[in-house]
Protein backbone atom coordinates (compact mmCIF):
# COMPACT_ATOMS: atom_id res chain seq x y z
CA UNK A 1 0.00 0.00 0.00
CA UNK A 2 1.40 3.45 -0.88
CA UNK A 3 2.40 5.78 1.94
CA UNK A 4 -0.25 8.31 3.07
CA UNK A 5 -3.24 6.74 1.36
CA UNK A 6 -6.45 8.71 0.84
CA UNK A 7 -8.50 7.04 3.54
CA UNK A 8 -12.22 7.05 2.76
CA UNK A 9 -13.12 3.92 4.74
CA UNK A 10 -14.70 5.80 7.63
CA UNK A 11 -14.80 9.13 9.46
CA UNK A 12 -13.38 7.23 12.45
CA UNK A 13 -9.89 7.31 10.88
CA UNK A 14 -9.36 11.00 11.63
CA UNK A 15 -6.35 11.86 13.76
CA UNK A 16 -6.28 14.60 16.39
CA UNK A 17 -4.84 17.86 15.03
CA UNK A 18 -1.89 19.47 16.77
CA UNK A 19 -4.19 22.10 18.31
CA UNK A 20 -6.43 19.35 19.66
CA UNK A 21 -3.40 17.50 21.05
CA UNK A 22 -2.32 20.70 22.76
CA UNK A 23 -5.74 21.03 24.41
CA UNK A 24 -5.44 17.40 25.53
CA UNK A 25 -1.95 17.91 26.95
CA UNK A 26 -3.11 20.92 28.95
CA UNK A 27 -6.36 19.39 30.28
CA UNK A 28 -7.03 19.50 33.99
CA UNK A 29 -7.85 16.02 35.22
CA UNK A 30 -9.17 14.13 38.22
CA UNK A 31 -10.66 10.72 38.96
CA UNK A 32 -13.82 10.53 36.87
CA UNK A 33 -15.19 7.46 38.67
CA UNK A 34 -15.36 9.78 41.69
CA UNK A 35 -16.92 12.42 39.41
CA UNK A 36 -13.85 14.62 40.01
CA UNK A 37 -12.50 15.20 36.53
CA UNK A 38 -13.22 18.88 35.79
CA UNK A 39 -12.73 18.49 32.04
CA UNK A 40 -15.11 15.52 31.83
CA UNK A 41 -17.62 17.47 33.91
CA UNK A 42 -17.29 20.45 31.57
CA UNK A 43 -17.78 18.24 28.50
CA UNK A 44 -20.86 16.61 30.04
CA UNK A 45 -22.34 19.99 30.94
CA UNK A 46 -21.67 21.30 27.42
CA UNK A 47 -23.24 18.25 25.76
CA UNK A 48 -26.31 18.41 27.98
CA UNK A 49 -26.74 22.13 27.24
CA UNK A 50 -26.34 21.68 23.48
CA UNK A 51 -29.17 19.15 23.44
CA UNK A 52 -31.31 21.02 25.95
CA UNK A 53 -31.19 18.16 28.48
CA UNK A 54 -30.35 17.97 32.18
CA UNK A 55 -27.33 15.70 32.05
CA UNK A 56 -24.84 13.82 29.91
CA UNK A 57 -22.36 10.99 30.37
CA UNK A 58 -18.98 10.53 28.67
CA UNK A 59 -18.50 6.91 27.53
CA UNK A 60 -15.68 5.17 25.64
CA UNK A 61 -17.63 4.34 22.47
CA UNK A 62 -20.85 4.79 20.54
CA UNK A 63 -21.56 1.10 21.01
CA UNK A 64 -21.41 1.49 24.77
CA UNK A 65 -23.69 4.54 24.63
CA UNK A 66 -26.29 2.58 22.67
CA UNK A 67 -25.94 -0.52 24.83
CA UNK A 68 -26.32 1.49 28.04
CA UNK A 69 -29.43 3.08 26.53
CA UNK A 70 -30.93 -0.32 25.69
CA UNK A 71 -30.18 -1.55 29.19
CA UNK A 72 -31.68 1.59 30.75
CA UNK A 73 -34.95 1.30 28.90
CA UNK A 74 -35.65 -2.45 28.95
CA UNK A 75 -35.91 -5.63 31.02
CA UNK A 76 -34.69 -9.03 29.79
CA UNK A 77 -37.30 -10.54 27.47
CA UNK A 78 -38.50 -7.20 26.13
CA UNK A 79 -38.68 -6.33 22.47
CA UNK A 80 -36.85 -3.41 20.88
CA UNK A 81 -37.95 -2.06 17.50
CA UNK A 82 -35.41 -0.37 15.23
CA UNK A 83 -34.53 0.08 11.56
CA UNK A 84 -33.49 -2.94 9.49
CA UNK A 85 -29.98 -1.61 8.95
CA UNK A 86 -29.52 -0.04 12.37
CA UNK A 87 -26.01 0.01 13.80
CA UNK A 88 -27.36 -1.23 17.14
CA UNK A 89 -28.83 -4.25 15.35
CA UNK A 90 -26.10 -5.10 12.82
CA UNK A 91 -22.80 -3.84 14.15
CA UNK A 92 -22.72 -4.05 17.94
CA UNK A 93 -21.61 -7.64 18.36
CA UNK A 94 -25.01 -8.86 19.50
CA UNK A 95 -24.82 -6.56 22.51
CA UNK A 96 -28.57 -6.09 22.90
CA UNK A 97 -29.03 -9.84 23.35
CA UNK A 98 -25.86 -10.41 25.37
CA UNK A 99 -25.99 -7.40 27.70
CA UNK A 100 -29.70 -6.68 28.01
CA UNK A 101 -31.36 -9.97 27.05
CA UNK A 102 -33.76 -8.29 24.64
CA UNK A 103 -34.89 -9.29 21.17
CA UNK A 104 -34.75 -6.81 18.34
CA UNK A 105 -37.41 -6.59 15.68
CA UNK A 106 -36.06 -4.70 12.66
CA UNK A 107 -38.58 -2.73 10.61
CA UNK A 108 -38.58 -0.81 7.32
CA UNK A 109 -36.39 -1.55 4.32
CA UNK A 110 -33.35 0.54 5.22
CA UNK A 111 -32.63 2.29 8.48
CA UNK A 112 -35.37 4.82 8.13
CA UNK A 113 -38.95 3.93 9.00
CA UNK A 114 -42.32 5.40 9.80
CA UNK A 115 -45.23 4.95 12.17
CA UNK A 116 -46.92 2.63 9.65
CA UNK A 117 -43.91 0.27 9.80
CA UNK A 118 -44.02 0.12 13.59
CA UNK A 119 -47.72 -0.15 14.42
CA UNK A 120 -48.24 -3.70 13.05
CA UNK A 121 -45.21 -4.88 15.05
CA UNK A 122 -46.23 -3.53 18.46
CA UNK A 123 -46.66 -6.36 20.98
CA UNK A 124 -48.87 -6.13 23.99
CA UNK A 125 -48.04 -7.32 27.47
CA UNK A 126 -50.19 -10.44 26.91
CA UNK A 127 -48.52 -13.38 28.58
CA UNK A 128 -47.25 -14.97 25.36
CA UNK A 129 -45.42 -12.07 23.66
CA UNK A 130 -42.21 -10.18 24.22
CA UNK A 131 -43.63 -6.77 25.06
CA UNK A 132 -42.40 -3.89 22.92
CA UNK A 133 -40.56 -1.51 25.24
CA UNK A 134 -38.21 0.63 23.20
CA UNK A 135 -38.07 2.36 19.81
CA UNK A 136 -34.61 3.23 18.52
CA UNK A 137 -33.78 5.60 15.67
CA UNK A 138 -30.52 6.38 13.90
CA UNK A 139 -29.77 9.86 12.56
CA UNK A 140 -27.95 10.18 10.27
CA UNK A 141 -28.36 6.69 9.03
CA UNK A 142 -24.94 5.11 8.45
CA UNK A 143 -25.64 1.94 6.43
CA UNK A 144 -28.29 3.82 4.47
CA UNK A 145 -25.66 6.21 3.08
CA UNK A 146 -25.69 8.98 5.67
CA UNK A 147 -29.38 9.70 5.17
CA UNK A 148 -31.11 12.19 7.44
CA UNK A 149 -34.06 10.78 9.40
CA UNK A 150 -36.84 13.25 8.50
CA UNK A 151 -37.84 15.31 11.53
CA UNK A 152 -41.56 14.89 10.85
CA UNK A 153 -41.15 11.09 10.93
CA UNK A 154 -39.14 11.25 14.15
CA UNK A 155 -41.79 13.47 15.74
CA UNK A 156 -44.60 11.14 14.70
CA UNK A 157 -42.70 8.11 16.03
CA UNK A 158 -41.91 9.87 19.32
CA UNK A 159 -45.60 10.74 19.62
CA UNK A 160 -46.58 7.12 18.99
CA UNK A 161 -44.11 5.99 21.65
CA UNK A 162 -45.56 8.39 24.22
CA UNK A 163 -49.08 7.26 23.39
CA UNK A 164 -48.14 3.60 23.83
CA UNK A 165 -45.92 4.09 26.88
CA UNK A 166 -42.72 3.09 25.04
CA UNK A 167 -39.24 4.43 25.69
CA UNK A 168 -37.18 6.01 22.91
CA UNK A 169 -33.49 6.33 22.08
CA UNK A 170 -31.87 8.23 19.23
CA UNK A 171 -28.51 6.90 18.03
CA UNK A 172 -27.14 10.22 16.86
CA UNK A 173 -23.62 9.00 16.17
CA UNK A 174 -23.58 11.61 13.37
CA UNK A 175 -26.31 13.91 14.67
CA UNK A 176 -24.23 17.02 13.89
CA UNK A 177 -24.06 15.95 10.25
CA UNK A 178 -27.87 15.87 10.33
CA UNK A 179 -27.95 19.32 11.98
CA UNK A 180 -25.55 20.64 9.33
CA UNK A 181 -27.77 19.49 6.47
CA UNK A 182 -31.15 20.41 7.97
CA UNK A 183 -30.19 23.53 9.92
CA UNK A 184 -32.14 22.05 12.84
CA UNK A 185 -30.76 22.91 16.30
CA UNK A 186 -29.40 19.94 18.29
CA UNK A 187 -31.84 20.77 21.11
CA UNK A 188 -34.75 19.93 18.81
CA UNK A 189 -33.41 16.41 18.36
CA UNK A 190 -32.48 16.34 22.05
CA UNK A 191 -36.06 16.99 23.08
CA UNK A 192 -37.55 14.16 21.02
CA UNK A 193 -36.40 11.01 22.79
CA UNK A 194 -35.71 9.80 26.33
CA UNK A 195 -32.01 9.44 25.54
CA UNK A 196 -29.72 10.44 22.69
CA UNK A 197 -26.15 9.40 21.95
CA UNK A 198 -23.54 10.97 19.70
CA UNK A 199 -19.94 10.24 18.71
CA UNK A 200 -17.00 12.56 19.27
CA UNK A 201 -14.70 10.20 17.38
CA UNK A 202 -16.29 10.36 13.93
CA UNK A 203 -16.53 13.52 11.83
CA UNK A 204 -15.84 15.69 14.88
CA UNK A 205 -12.31 14.30 14.85
CA UNK A 206 -11.69 13.39 18.50
CA UNK A 207 -9.64 10.22 19.03
CA UNK A 208 -12.07 8.52 21.46
CA UNK A 209 -15.47 8.89 23.00
CA UNK A 210 -19.20 9.25 22.78
CA UNK A 211 -21.83 10.98 24.88
CA UNK A 212 -25.20 9.87 26.18
CA UNK A 213 -27.67 12.62 27.12
CA UNK A 214 -30.98 12.57 28.96
CA UNK A 215 -32.55 13.58 32.24
CA UNK A 216 -30.50 13.66 35.45
CA UNK A 217 -32.06 10.60 37.04
CA UNK A 218 -31.58 8.48 33.92
CA UNK A 219 -27.95 9.60 33.59
CA UNK A 220 -27.28 8.65 37.22
CA UNK A 221 -28.52 5.18 36.41
CA UNK A 222 -26.51 5.23 33.14
CA UNK A 223 -23.37 5.87 35.18
CA UNK A 224 -24.00 2.65 37.02
CA UNK A 225 -24.42 0.68 33.78
CA UNK A 226 -21.28 2.30 32.38
CA UNK A 227 -19.40 0.84 35.35
CA UNK A 228 -21.11 -2.53 34.90
CA UNK A 229 -20.03 -2.60 31.24
CA UNK A 230 -16.43 -1.74 32.14
CA UNK A 231 -16.52 1.85 30.95
CA UNK A 232 -15.70 3.71 34.18
CA UNK A 233 -12.51 5.65 33.43
CA UNK A 234 -10.14 7.66 35.63
CA UNK A 235 -8.07 10.72 34.53
CA UNK A 236 -9.97 10.79 31.29
CA UNK A 237 -10.13 14.58 31.03
CA UNK A 238 -7.28 14.18 28.53
CA UNK A 239 -9.81 12.60 26.16
CA UNK A 240 -12.70 14.82 27.21
CA UNK A 241 -10.55 17.84 26.29
CA UNK A 242 -10.40 16.52 22.72
CA UNK A 243 -14.18 16.13 22.78
CA UNK A 244 -14.74 19.67 24.04
CA UNK A 245 -12.33 21.01 21.44
CA UNK A 246 -14.18 19.08 18.73
CA UNK A 247 -17.60 20.29 19.87
CA UNK A 248 -16.48 23.91 19.84
CA UNK A 249 -14.26 23.98 16.76
CA UNK A 250 -15.04 21.07 14.45
CA UNK A 251 -18.83 21.24 14.16
CA UNK A 252 -18.95 24.18 11.79
CA UNK A 253 -16.59 22.50 9.33
CA UNK A 254 -18.76 19.41 8.77
CA UNK A 255 -20.27 21.31 5.87
CA UNK A 256 -16.90 20.93 4.08
CA UNK A 257 -17.13 17.13 4.40
CA UNK A 258 -20.59 17.22 2.87
CA UNK A 259 -19.28 19.25 -0.06
CA UNK A 260 -16.49 16.70 -0.61
CA UNK A 261 -18.98 13.82 -0.52
CA UNK A 262 -21.03 15.57 -3.15
CA UNK A 263 -17.99 16.30 -5.32
CA UNK A 264 -17.03 12.61 -5.11
CA UNK A 265 -20.57 11.39 -5.84
CA UNK A 266 -20.93 13.65 -8.86
CA UNK A 267 -17.54 12.43 -10.08
CA UNK A 268 -18.29 8.71 -9.87
CA UNK A 269 -21.93 8.85 -10.98
CA UNK A 270 -21.11 8.93 -14.73
CA UNK A 271 -18.37 6.25 -14.53
CA UNK A 272 -19.05 2.90 -16.21
CA UNK A 273 -20.71 0.31 -13.97
CA UNK A 274 -21.52 2.74 -11.15
CA UNK A 275 -25.08 3.01 -9.90
CA UNK A 276 -25.79 5.91 -7.59
CA UNK A 277 -29.38 7.07 -7.61
CA UNK A 278 -29.32 9.65 -4.86
CA UNK A 279 -26.66 12.24 -4.22
CA UNK A 280 -25.38 12.22 -0.63
CA UNK A 281 -27.19 14.27 2.02
CA UNK A 282 -24.22 14.28 4.39
CA UNK A 283 -20.66 12.86 4.42
CA UNK A 284 -21.25 9.24 3.32
CA UNK A 285 -21.45 7.95 -0.26
CA UNK A 286 -22.61 4.37 -0.84
CA UNK A 287 -22.64 3.28 -4.47
CA UNK A 288 -23.54 0.05 -6.25
CA UNK A 289 -21.47 -1.67 -8.91
CA UNK A 290 -22.90 -3.24 -11.99
CA UNK A 291 -19.65 -3.85 -13.84
CA UNK A 292 -18.28 -6.67 -15.98
CA UNK A 293 -14.82 -6.69 -14.35
CA UNK A 294 -15.18 -5.37 -10.86
CA UNK A 295 -17.06 -6.42 -7.78
CA UNK A 296 -16.78 -4.39 -4.58
CA UNK A 297 -14.00 -6.29 -2.71
CA UNK A 298 -11.76 -6.54 -5.80
CA UNK A 299 -12.29 -2.90 -6.76
CA UNK A 300 -11.49 -1.80 -3.20
CA UNK A 301 -8.31 -3.90 -3.30
CA UNK A 302 -7.18 -2.41 -6.60
CA UNK A 303 -8.02 1.12 -5.41
CA UNK A 304 -6.08 0.51 -2.19
CA UNK A 305 -3.03 -0.56 -4.21
CA UNK A 306 -3.31 2.83 -5.93
CA UNK A 307 -3.59 4.67 -2.60
CA UNK A 308 -7.37 5.05 -2.22
CA UNK A 309 -8.99 3.19 0.67
CA UNK A 310 -12.73 2.47 0.59
CA UNK A 311 -14.90 -0.12 2.32
CA UNK A 312 -16.75 -2.91 0.48
CA UNK A 313 -20.23 -3.13 2.03
CA UNK A 314 -21.21 -6.33 0.24
CA UNK A 315 -20.36 -8.04 -3.05
CA UNK A 316 -21.56 -5.11 -5.15
CA UNK A 317 -21.57 -2.12 -2.81
CA UNK A 318 -18.83 0.32 -1.82
CA UNK A 319 -18.74 3.01 0.87
CA UNK A 320 -16.66 6.18 0.85
CA UNK A 321 -16.77 8.57 3.82
CA UNK A 322 -15.50 12.15 3.93
CA UNK A 323 -13.92 13.75 6.96
CA UNK A 324 -11.43 16.33 8.17
CA UNK A 325 -8.39 14.41 6.96
CA UNK A 326 -9.56 14.49 3.32
CA UNK A 327 -8.89 17.43 1.00
CA UNK A 328 -10.52 18.55 -2.23
CA UNK A 329 -7.33 17.71 -4.07
CA UNK A 330 -7.40 14.17 -2.63
CA UNK A 331 -10.98 13.70 -3.82
CA UNK A 332 -9.86 14.62 -7.32
CA UNK A 333 -7.02 12.11 -7.10
CA UNK A 334 -9.37 9.42 -5.82
CA UNK A 335 -11.72 10.09 -8.73
CA UNK A 336 -8.80 9.77 -11.18
CA UNK A 337 -7.87 6.40 -9.69
CA UNK A 338 -11.46 5.11 -9.85
CA UNK A 339 -11.94 6.38 -13.37
CA UNK A 340 -8.77 4.56 -14.46
CA UNK A 341 -9.96 1.31 -12.90
CA UNK A 342 -13.61 1.40 -13.94
CA UNK A 343 -12.89 2.31 -17.54
CA UNK A 344 -10.80 -0.87 -17.80
CA UNK A 345 -12.94 -3.80 -18.92
C1 LIG B 1 -20.01 4.31 14.61
C2 LIG B 1 -21.41 4.20 15.01
C3 LIG B 1 -21.76 3.76 16.30
C4 LIG B 1 -20.78 3.20 17.30
O5 LIG B 1 -19.64 3.88 17.48
P6 LIG B 1 -18.28 3.22 18.06
O7 LIG B 1 -17.69 4.38 18.76
O8 LIG B 1 -17.51 2.76 16.88
O9 LIG B 1 -18.64 2.14 19.00
C10 LIG B 1 -23.09 3.73 16.62
N11 LIG B 1 -24.04 4.09 15.74
C12 LIG B 1 -23.74 4.49 14.49
C13 LIG B 1 -24.83 4.90 13.58
C14 LIG B 1 -22.41 4.56 14.08
O15 LIG B 1 -22.13 4.94 12.83
For residues 36-60, give the mean pLDDT. 98
Rounded to 5 degrees, φ, ψ at 215 are: -80, 165
pLDDT at 125: 73
How far is Cα 248 from Cα 159, in angstroms, rounded to an integer? 32
Q: Do 204 and 37 contact (CB within 8 A), yes or no?
A: no
pLDDT at 180: 98
Return the residue whose CA atom lies nearest to atom 5 of ligand 1.
62
pLDDT at 293: 87
CB of 210 sitting under 6 A from ligand 1: yes
Please give the share of the chain, as a percent, with pLDDT higher than 70.
Answer: 99
Give me ligand 1 centre to Cα 173, in Å: 6
pLDDT at 12: 96
pLDDT at 1: 61
CB of 92 sitting under 6 A from ligand 1: no
How far is Cα 320 from Cα 11, in angstroms, rounded to an integer? 9
DSSP-derived secondary structure letter, 272: T
pLDDT of 42 above 90: yes
* Helix (H) or strand (E) run with residue 248 in it: helix 237-249
Return the residue whose CA atom lies nearest to atom 6 of ligand 1.
62
Residue-wise pLDDT tens digits, 183-234: 999 999 999 999 999 999 999 999 999 999 999 999 999 999 999 999 999 9
For residues 259-282, give the mean pLDDT. 96
CB of 199 sitting under 6 A from ligand 1: yes
Choose the residue to mutate in 199, 201, 208 for probing ligand 1, maximizing ligand atoms within 8 Å of C-beta. Answer: 199
Give me ligand 1 centre to Cα 4, in Å: 25
Give me ligand 1 centre to Cα 321, in Å: 14
Measured in Å, how far apart are the chain's first and last C-alpha atoms?
Answer: 23
Name which of 49, 91, 47 is nearest 67 in CA terms.
91
pLDDT at 277: 87
Reported as a pLDDT band with limits 50, 70 and 90, residue 124 is confident
Q: What pTM does this model have?
A: 0.96
For residues 29-56, give the mean pLDDT. 98
pLDDT at 126: 76
pLDDT of 2 above 70: no
CB of 201 sitting under 6 A from ligand 1: yes
pLDDT of 83 above 90: yes
pLDDT of 248 above 90: yes
| Integer CA distances (angstroms), 81 to 84, 104, 125, 138, 148, in order | 9, 6, 15, 12, 19
Reported as a pLDDT band with limits 50, 70 and 90, residue 239 is very high
Choose the residue to mutate in 10, 59, 91, 144 for probing ligand 1, maximizing ligand atoms within 8 Å of C-beta. Answer: 91
For residues 256-269, give the mean pLDDT. 98
Residues 6+ apart with CB under 8 A from 12: 201, 202
Amino acid sequence: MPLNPIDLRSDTVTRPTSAMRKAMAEAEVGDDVFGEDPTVNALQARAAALFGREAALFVPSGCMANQIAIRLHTQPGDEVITGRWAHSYLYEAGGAAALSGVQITPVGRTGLFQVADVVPELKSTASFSAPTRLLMFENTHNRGGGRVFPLADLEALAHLARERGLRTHLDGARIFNACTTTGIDPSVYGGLTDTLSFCLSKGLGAPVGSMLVGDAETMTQARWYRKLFGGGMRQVGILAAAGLYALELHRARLVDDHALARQFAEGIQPLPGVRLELLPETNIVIFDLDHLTWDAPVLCQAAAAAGVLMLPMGPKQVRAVFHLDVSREQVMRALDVLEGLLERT
